[in-house]
Structure 1
Amino acid sequence: MPNHTDTSFLDHMPQNCAVQFWDRVAASGPREAFRFPVGETWKSVTWAETGDEVRRIAAGLLGLGLQREDRVAIAAATRYEWILADLAIMCAGGATTTVYPTTGGEDTAYIIGDSGSRVVFAEDDVQVAKLRDHRDELPEVMKVVSFDAALADGDWVISMDDLARIGEEYLAEHPEGIEIVAKDIAGDQLATLIYTSGTTGKPKGVRTLHRGWVFEGEAIKAQDILNEDDLQFLWLPMAHSFGKVLLSTQLACGFATAIDGRVDKIVDNLGVVKPTFMGAAPRIFEKAYSRIVTMQAAEGGLKEKIFKRAFAVGAKVDELKLAGKSVPLGLKLQHGLFDKLVFSKVRDRFGGRVKFFISGSAALNADIARWFHAAGVLILEGYGMTENSAGATVNHPDRYKMGTVGLPFPGTEVRIGDNGEVQLKGPHIMAGYHNRPEATAEALTADGWLRTGDRGQIDEDGYLTITGRIKELFKTSGGKYIAPPAIEAKFKAICPYVSQFMVFGAERNFVSALITLDPDGIAGWAEENGKGGTSYTDLVRDPQVVAMVGEYVDQLNAQLNRWETVKKWTLLDHDLSIESGELTPSMKVKRNVVEANNKDVIDSFYVDA
């Protein structure tokens, strides 16, 4: 078993992200680095080929006059070109500014302006149009580099090939230019400005350093979780710190990554790519769980009975194993049979080779994690935030506790501060918020610990459990404290048709809820119940659907303390989405936006109360 507290790696980490990348190219040159879709097929590139492309693009940025720590923005979805741009920016000594492709024109201009970005990589005509529309507000932007060559105008907008040609000219005059820059980057130099989407006000730019990202990757490598022979499937938004830390981990460990940011293609891609691991937000696992359960329920009869029996046996075997007890022969034989009949099919949905998934960015329901575990699918929950370069704690394939977010990274510390707040310390902590000295001061304690704003507990073995956001905790008018995430997670494990379940009731005399259904899940239910083709809006108003959801709410209430029970609720006529502004790009609910949008509905719950 690896020593998870060994910190010897801290003494020989690469100096910066650029050196980390070039070290990987030197060590793994002919091995596969990335693969990505081109039409209906996948193209593969080696580390050496990636290095050649990054060298030309980095040199192109230097040829444009990029200086140390100059910001370069990337406005694009997750794709190979995003990776190339990010690596090139860091290898040129610049700092990447991240912009979600779903960000509106006004906020895109704000982020690029606030960061002082000099160059912008723009994915397509939609992103280029945002920049053109706000060009007067962006006087510092020298060039826009489009991934779509057809958008180049020979002036302000150039193509990736144009930038590479500038790079070749620069390298002809400065053949050692890239190596010189890489050696000159200090560990405390700015590497990334990640703008947190936030739930209120303008987004804040988190100043993350080279040493933070290098540390994250090297800390995971030191724990022997991943190696060169692994294959990652990467769909997470690279504008989010979770996606970014997986790139740092790849540089440290040397595995290959298949990239496609299209969320609707995840399941199809897993079947084709057959990865050994993937990072994801809990919503992906919730949807997969709901889909499998509802499909099996639709089959009915003997198949459904076998399915339910299989998971009952799987749960019992898990319970014995996790308690360190032996599994009786009869139970073991049953489990082997069910593994062939049921569990192998669940694993096949994810490609059949997954060693584990890593879940982060929001809380994963422990019951759903246990359900997958019974099928032989291990989901390791981790915890962190952009302000600490994404990873603070993680469970391990050989050492995990369901319902916790694992152990602190080696070389870091976690403590519980005032009001139960989780606080972090280590080489991964940000340098502060860009142009926000007051916000920076609020985020750090007097003795240098990062305030996370999350409430948590550390058990006797050092495992951290997150119990919710401090600011989300509310008190009813009866004086009882309510932790919405705990109630919401329970409902998601009970109701396979739910998409979002949001609890309210601050300073009110009871708890209420707004519910949205998963469009695919409820459409499947409609087909099975003679209502195929009925719109989502009509389905959520259907008395049969309302009654069905009501039964699930009753099941939830049976598991809650009296003061936590949901007395009134309603189904919203739409699911939450990133486009509506009710979800962040990392799929977190913007609770205050949902509450404001549905103020009249929530108020109506309490009219006669």
Structure 2
Amino acid sequence: MTPDRLFDLIPYQISQYDKNVSLAFKENNSWQTYSSRDLKEITENLSLAFLNSGISKGDKVAIISNNRPEWNFVDLALQQIGAISVPMYPTITTEDYRYIFEHAEVKMVFVGDQEILEKVKAANPELKVFSFHQLDGVDFWKDFMKSGENGDLQILEDSKASVETDDLFTIIYTSGTTGRPKGVMLSHKNVLSNVMSVSEILTLERGKDKVLSFLPLCHIFERTASFCHLKMGISIYYAENLELIGDNLREIKPQGFNTVPRLLEKIYDKIVSKGYELKGIKRSLFFWALKLGHEYNPSEDQGAWYNWQLKMANKLIFSKWREALGGEIVQINCGASALQPRLARVFWAAGIKVCEGYGLTETSPVVSASICNHKEIRIGYVGKLLKDVEVQIASDGEILVKGPNVMLGYYKQPDVTAEVLKNGWFHTGDIGELDGEYLKITDRKKEMFKTSGGKYVAPQVIENKIKESSLIDQVMVIGENRNYVVALIIPSEDGLKEYCRHKGFPFTEMSEMILKPEVIAKYERVLEDMNKYFAKWETIKRFKLLPEPWGIESGELTPTMKLKRKIILSKYQKDIDAIYSS
């Protein structure tokens, strides 16, 4: 059988693999698992419960929760009756909830915990709410499901039959950095086309391997991946939380996971900070291996001497990196923003294959993806164009996409849809280059700025280079309509501590350290060294060190850990003005 709608992946998995563990989640210190047949039974009962409650084809139901199997159950159950899921980030504001509930005409909400419940009630106290945890004053999802347990399966089969592959199945409100979020409308065909193509190039073993899932399911990257894993018979284990990813990796020993560059940067920085703690020969070997890794090119033979050294580095140093990730990782998929090339090199050198891809919510999401082998991987590129996906580069460098994965449009916003969908081509807002089938992203069109001298600056490329310094955790480049470029910098605490130790003065509080003349002078030297890689008009002339890292909760990062540039500009306007006036 060939799946025509996303919920067809359930019987497909049963027919091909009949998994003992399709989905798993750790609760009360033990892994709760669900087989392929459990998945089928639960989603059928939930579908009938929705029908009994009055939810029908075209109705909207919101899902707001961290990753857990219940998220999938509700999503798939809604699909089977033609209802529309509206996934939302647990971290967004009550005001955003209020807007989306009203704009999407949501009739029912499923929440993950008490904190989300309180925000939902504040946003709209009239909505019917169910929870994945047993909470006071709200109905439990299992109690809701019971109302469908004795339902007529023929009614459900009739509902399934009425759902077409071109039907809308979800509205995903993009997180955005400013203004109201836009509701991206995706059909079964949009996402299923991605699932079929991506599953052909993943190196995970069908019916056998496991993945750990921790990126938000409400983001299309992880959600499409979950459908892909269903098709491939890959067991999905949901991480307890971001803090316990390391423990969960070592516990379940997965063959793969999806991530974003920011999390890989954190993993790398943590590894390097451990290296700084080593003494003597162990420390020397660690940084020798690190240097080798930064020089690695997976698609080239770098000679017998280099290969022998790398073999030794893998045996002595990099083997411990692989153990920290569970010891069985075959492929890591990385997307949402640009990965520093040096990180890709060092992870590949360590036998940890990080494969970049590119896409957007509006493209379901994958446009291009790396083929995970030494012959076809290209560092600095986001892979090869996906099957059936076309790309053109416009005269201004913008990436245009056409294919079955391109969205239906923005919900209730035909004018905004017309601005980005022209003659079948979706205008991504990203700037890039094509080399045959290989795609490279250079920046966001909307993030590029022009100095007062008329020179264009692509900030993301500069920021990624600056973050190669072990002393810098986060950075944002600024200079629109100014006569030179400056930067806001969040120092790396581990890197700065090591520098202080090396120089023989104590590290106190970050707020104190960034004011010390010797620390400021060190960062001046770091930027002076980095400036050699930039054109004259791109060089960082001045900077400001900031004590607190930017985060999702504090509002400077999107849920996929990209900079909210306008928010940061507004928040630090006085600091920026002071840099330019000093």
TM-score normalized with structure 1 length: 0.90
Q: Any conservation in 2 of the 1:32–1:47 contact (CA below 8 Å)?
A: yes
Q: Which of 21, 24, 46 is the equivalent residue of 1:35?
A: 24
Aligned to 1:210: 188
Q: Any conservation in 2 of the 1:358–1:379 contact (CA below 8 Å)?
A: yes
User: What SS does the aligned partner of 1:606 have?
Assistant: helix
The question of 1:373 aligning with 2:351 is answered no
The 3 A distance-change label for structure 1 pair 278 and 251 is same
The question of 1:251 aligning with 2:230 is answered yes
Q: Which of 260, 264, 281 is the equivalent residue of 1:285?
A: 264
Query: In the aligned structure 2, how far is the partner of 1:28 from the partner of 1:247?
Result: 16
The 3 A distance-change label for structure 1 pair 115 and 520 is farther
The question of 1:228 aligning with 2:207 is answered yes
Q: Which of 333, 342, 351 is the equivalent residue of 1:358?
A: 333
Aligned to 1:468: 443
Aligned to 1:146: 131
The question of 1:592 aligning with 2:566 is answered yes
The question of 1:517 aligning with 2:517 is answered no
Aligned to 1:165: 146
Q: Any conservation in 1 of the 2:364–2:405 contact (CA below 8 Å)?
A: yes
Query: In the aligned structure 2, how far is the partner of 1:266 from the partner of 1:531?
Result: 34
Query: In the aligned structure 2, how far is the partner of 1:602 from the partner of 1:47?
Result: 55
Query: In the aligned structure 2, how far is the partner of 1:40 from the partner of 1:542?
Result: 46
Q: Any conservation in 2 of the 1:217–1:253 contact (CA below 8 Å)?
A: no
User: What SS does the aligned partner of 1:85 have?
Assistant: helix
User: What SS does the aligned partner of 1:479 have?
Assistant: coil
Aligned to 1:560: 534
Q: Any conservation in 1 of the 2:399–2:432 contact (CA below 8 Å)?
A: yes
Query: In the aligned structure 1, how far is the partner of 2:339 from the partner of 2:406?
Result: 24
Q: Any conservation in 1 of the 2:13–2:230 contact (CA below 8 Å)?
A: yes
The 3 A distance-change label for structure 1 pair 360 and 148 is same
Query: In the aligned structure 2, how far is the partner of 1:202 from the partner of 1:224?
Result: 36
The 3 A distance-change label for structure 1 pair 377 and 244 is same
Aligned residues: 579
Q: Any conservation in 1 of the 2:194–2:224 contact (CA below 8 Å)?
A: yes
Report the Cα offset of residue 144 of structure 1. 0.9
Deviations 1:222-252 (A, max 9, x none): 3353322221110001111111111121122
Q: Any conservation in 1 of the 2:10–2:36 contact (CA below 8 Å)?
A: no
Query: In the aligned structure 2, how far is the partner of 1:306 from the partner of 1:520?
Result: 20
Report the Cα offset of residue 160 of structure 1. 0.8
Once the two structures are superposed, the pairs formed by residues 151-550 of structure 1 within 5 Å of their partners are 151=136, 153=137, 157-169=138-150, 171=151, 174-223=152-201, 225-226=203-204, 227-260=206-239, 262-314=241-293, 318-319=296-297, 322-323=299-300, 325=301, 327-328=303-304, 330-398=305-373, 399-445=376-422, 447-459=423-435, 461-493=436-468, 495-518=469-492, 534-550=508-524
User: What SS does the aligned partner of 1:96 have?
Assistant: strand
Between 204-213 and 74-83, the greater mean CA deviation after superposition: 74-83
Between 215-224 and 232-241, the greater mean CA deviation after superposition: 215-224
Q: Any conservation in 2 of the 1:476–1:510 contact (CA below 8 Å)?
A: yes
- For 1:455, the aligned partner's letter is I
- For 1:121, the aligned partner's letter is F
User: What SS does the aligned partner of 2:396 have?
Assistant: helix
Query: In the aligned structure 2, how far is the partner of 1:469 from the partner of 1:26?
Result: 43
Report the Cα offset of residue 268 of structure 1. 2.1
- For 2:445, the aligned partner's letter is I
The 3 A distance-change label for structure 1 pair 549 and 350 is farther
- For 2:412, the aligned partner's letter is N
Between 577-586 and 216-225, the greater mean CA deviation after superposition: 216-225
Any unmatched runs of 5+ in structure 2? none
Q: Any conservation in 1 of the 2:203–2:330 contact (CA below 8 Å)?
A: no
Query: In the aligned structure 1, how far is the partner of 2:429 from the partner of 2:240?
Result: 29
Once the two structures are superposed, the pairs formed by residues 79-98 of structure 1 within 5 Å of their partners are 79-98=68-87
Query: In the aligned structure 2, how far is the partner of 1:433 from the partner of 1:202?
Result: 12
Between 19-28 and 406-415, the greater mean CA deviation after superposition: 19-28
Report the Cα offset of residue 315 of structure 1. 5.4
Once the two structures are superposed, the pairs formed by residues 63-102 of structure 1 within 5 Å of their partners are 63-102=52-91
- For 2:310, the aligned partner's letter is H
Query: In the aligned structure 2, how far is the partner of 1:102 from the partner of 1:531?
Result: 40
Q: Any conservation in 2 of the 1:526–1:534 contact (CA below 8 Å)?
A: no
Report the Cα offset of residue 314 of structure 1. 4.5
User: What SS does the aligned partner of 1:179 have?
Assistant: helix
User: What SS does the aligned partner of 1:32 have?
Assistant: coil
Identity over aligned residues, as a percent?
A: 33
Query: In the aligned structure 1, how far is the partner of 2:507 from the partner of 2:40?
Result: 51
Q: Any conservation in 1 of the 2:299–2:377 contact (CA below 8 Å)?
A: no
Q: Any conservation in 1 of the 2:66–2:90 contact (CA below 8 Å)?
A: yes
